[in-house]
Chain A
Amino acid sequence: MTQTEKKVFARTEVLTSQQTHYCPGCGHGIVHRLVAEALDHFGLREKTVCVAPVGCSVLAYKYLAIDMSEAAHGRAPAVATGVKRARPDLFVFTYQGDGDLAAIGTAEIVHAANRGENISVVFVNNAVYGMTGGQMAPTTMLGQKTTTSPAGRNLQSEGSPIKVAEMLSALDAPSYIARVTVDKPAAVRKAKQAILTAFQRQIDGKGFSLVEVLSPCPTYWRMPAAKAMSAIEDTMVKVFPLGVFKDKEAANGNQTA
C-alpha cells in the first residue's frame, strides 16, 4: 500500500492568473470557471471568439485567455452573429448579464434565438444591475429593493421579472435552453453540464443555445456571500424555476448530456 497525492482540482489554463475585479462572493467567477473548463473540455481555446457584454463582466477578457470582442450594451448577440456569419468555422459565444440581455438587448437576443443563430449564450441572471451600482433589473423580483426601486419592485408600476429562458423557449428555432444555478456544489456541476450541452449544440451545428445561470450578487443583495448563496434557493428559484426549457435533440429522441 502506497499513498500518493493527486491534484484533483486546479485552474484550467483558459483562465488567466489575474485576480478578478468582481466583488467577494460574486457568481461571475464560478461561471467564468465553468465556461473556461467547457472550452478546455472541447479543445476550443484556439478557435473561439467570445463577445463580452456591457456590465460587470465587461472586463471578462482579462480573465479568459481567448479572443474577445466588445459589443455595445445589449448588442452582443448581433456582434456574435456578425462574427459567426463571417467565420462559421469559429466557436462563438456571448457572455451577458441580465441588464444587457434582458433589458437593452431584448431585440438582439430574441432575434438571434429566433434565427437559430449557431452561437451559444451564457446568461448570468443576478436580478440586479451591478456595474452601475444596484439598480432595478428586468429580472429584479417583486418586492426586491434596489436603488431605483427603493420600496421594492412593484407589480403595478414596474411589472414582473422577465423569465428569459421561458420566453425564448416559446420560439421554434432554439436548440437548447436551460436555467441552472451555482448556489451549491451539485448545482454547479449541473450548471457545467448545461454549458457543455449548449456548447456541444454549436459544435454540432444545431443552432442557438442559451444557459441562464442564477447567480449571487452579495453586494447589491446587501448580504454576506454565503447567505447570498442560500438566498438563491430561498427566493430566486421560486421565481425562476430551474430546468431544461427547450431541448430539440430530446424532442428528436436523441440523447442529451
Chain B
Amino acid sequence: MTKVLMSGNDAVVEGAIRAGIDCYFGYPITPQNEIIAGMAARLPGLGRAFLQSESELAAVSMVHGAAAAGKRAMTTSSSPGISLMQEGISYLSGTQLPAVIVNVQRGGPGLGNIAPAQGDYFQATRGGGNGDYHNIVLAPSSVQEMLDYTYEAFDLADQYRIPVMILTDGRLGQMMEPCELRDPYPRKKLVEKPWAVTGAKGRKQHFLCSLHLPPAELAEHNRALQKNYREIERKEARAEAHCTNDAEVVFVAYGACARLCREAGDILREEGLKVGLLRPITLWPFPAKKLQASLKKAKRIVVVEMSAGQLIQDVQLSNVDGLPIEFIGRMGGEAPSIKELVAFGRKLLQKPRRKLASQGKR
C-alpha cells in the first residue's frame, strides 16, 4: 500500500482511472482544472478517450454518447458549468444511462467566485434539470474520499443505471493530504450492459431515449424510475456517525464543513461536553434513518453549511422528533471557523466558559 501526497482534484483523476474510466469529456473551469489536465495527461497513454469539449453542454452530451455505447464515461466541472450540464443530466436520467459527474463547487449564484461553497446542494439532490429524477450524490470530506468515492461512483452508476454526482468543493479539490493508493481495489464484477447501442448485430435495434409520447407510456417509464430510486434509498443511504451515542448536541454537516464540525466536536469533548457529528455521505438518498439513530440523546441539532441553508431542509424533513435545529451558514466562499463552532456548541450546552489549552493551539 502506497501513501502519496496529492490534491483532491488529483485524487479524482486517480480514482477514475483505477475504476476503469473509458472516456472523459470536460470543459475548463476553476477550481477543478487539475482534473481535466490530469485526464489529458494520463488517459491517452492508457488507450482511453480524452476530449476537451466546446462547452459543458457538449461535454455532458459526449458523456451521454459514450455511456450509450456501454462505456464508463465521466465529466467534471464547477457550479456554473454544472448548471449548463443540467440539460444533459436530465437526459441521462430519463434514458437511464450510467455516468459520473463531479461538481467541485464554487461560490454563486451566477459567475459568483472561485472560492469553495456548498450552494449547489438543492440542485444536486433535487434533480436540477427538468422532470422527476434523482442522481446518487456522494459527498467526500477528505482527499482519500475524493479518490474512493470517485472509484465507487462508477460501480454505483452501472449497477443502478443512474448518473452519480460527486458533490465536493474547491477546498477539498485544492487541498493536499496523504492518500492511500489501495492496489488492487476490491473490484466488483463489471455489470453487463445488454441495452447499449453497439450496432444491431444479430439482434433487434436498440433505441436509447427519454422520449415517450403516450402519457401512459411515460407514466410507466416514470414508475420504473421511481422504483429504482426507492431501491437506492433502501440500500445505499450512507452516513458517518462520530461520537453520537451519547451526544446532546449533534452537528450535521457534509464535505468540508464536516471536517470543521469534527474538529469542533472533539474540542468540546475534551471539555467534557457531549457533542457528536452526523456526516451524510450520500446526500441523495439522504440518510434520514442514520440521522434519527444518531439523535437518541440529542437535545439540539446544529446544521453547518457553506450556503444559506439547503442541507437543513433535508434534516427538517427527516422526522427528528421536534428537536430544535440550529443553523450556521456562510456564503460567497466563506466558511465558519472552528473557534466559532466551538463557542456555539458550548453556548448551547450552557456550560460556563473556560479557557482551553487546546484552543490556543488552533
Interface residues of A (CB under 8 A from B): 45-49, 51-52, 58-59, 61, 64-72, 75, 78-87, 90-91, 107-108, 110-111
Contact among A46, A67, A71 for B202, CB-based, below 8 A: A46
- B56 CB to nearest A CB, Å: 11
Closest chain B residue to A51 by CB distance?
Answer: B65
- A49 CB to nearest B CB, Å: 5
B205 adjacent to A61 (CB under 8 Å): yes
- B198 CB to nearest A CB, Å: 7
- On chain B, the residues within 8 Å of A64 by CB distance are 205
- B130 CB to nearest A CB, Å: 11
Q: How many residues of B contact A (CB 8 A)?
A: 41
- B81 CB to nearest A CB, Å: 14
B88 adjacent to A70 (CB under 8 Å): no
- A129 CB to nearest B CB, Å: 17
Contact among B54, B66, B202 for A82, CB-based, below 8 A: B66
B197 adjacent to A68 (CB under 8 Å): yes
> Measured between alpha carbons, how far is A14 from B210 in the docked complex, in Å?
23
B87 interface residue (CB < 8 Å to A): yes
> Measured between alpha carbons, how far is A90 from B208 in the docked complex, in Å?
16
> Measured between alpha carbons, how far is A65 from B206 in the docked complex, in Å?
9
A-B contact pairs, 15 of them (CB 8 A): A46-B200, A47-B199, A61-B209, A70-B210, A72-B57, A75-B88, A78-B61, A80-B65, A81-B51, A82-B62, A82-B66, A83-B68, A86-B66, A90-B69, A108-B54
User: In residues 34-82 of chain B, which contact A (Cβ within 8 Å)?
Assistant: 49, 51, 53-55, 57-59, 61-71, 73
Interface residues of B (CB under 8 A from A): 22-23, 25, 49, 51, 53-55, 57-59, 61-71, 73, 87-88, 91, 95, 197-202, 204-211
A75 adjacent to B69 (CB under 8 Å): no
B65 adjacent to A45 (CB under 8 Å): no
> Measured between alpha carbons, how far is A8 from B66 in the docked complex, in Å?
40
A47 adjacent to B201 (CB under 8 Å): yes
> Measured between alpha carbons, how far is A80 from B25 in the docked complex, in Å?
13
Whether A108 touches B58, Cβ cut-off 8 Å, given contacts A69-B197, A82-B69, A90-B69, is yes
> Measured between alpha carbons, how far is A82 from B50 in the docked complex, in Å?
10
B54 adjacent to A66 (CB under 8 Å): no
10 pairs of A and B residues whose beta carbons are closest in the complex: A82-B65, A78-B61, A82-B62, A47-B199, A75-B61, A86-B66, A70-B209, A111-B54, A67-B197, A79-B65
A78 adjacent to B62 (CB under 8 Å): yes
- On chain B, the residues within 8 Å of A107 by CB distance are 54-55, 57-58
Closest chain A residue to B94 by CB distance?
Answer: A70
Whether A66 touches B208, Cβ cut-off 8 Å, given contacts A78-B57, A81-B51, A107-B54, is no
Most buried by A among B53, B61, B64, B202: B61
- On chain A, the residues within 8 Å of B211 by CB distance are 58-59, 70
- On chain A, the residues within 8 Å of B58 by CB distance are 75, 78, 81, 107-108, 111
- On chain A, the residues within 8 Å of B68 by CB distance are 49, 69, 79, 82-83
> Measured between alpha carbons, how far is A86 from B66 in the docked complex, in Å?
5
Most buried by B among A47, A61, A82, A110: A82
A86 adjacent to B69 (CB under 8 Å): yes
- B59 CB to nearest A CB, Å: 8
- A147 CB to nearest B CB, Å: 22
> Measured between alpha carbons, how far is A79 from B204 in the docked complex, in Å?
22
Whether A71 touches B61, Cβ cut-off 8 Å, given contacts A78-B53, A85-B51, is yes
B61 adjacent to A85 (CB under 8 Å): no
Known: A67-B206, A82-B64, A82-B65. 10 other contacts (CB 8 A): A46-B199, A49-B69, A61-B209, A68-B205, A68-B208, A70-B210, A72-B87, A85-B49, A86-B69, A87-B70
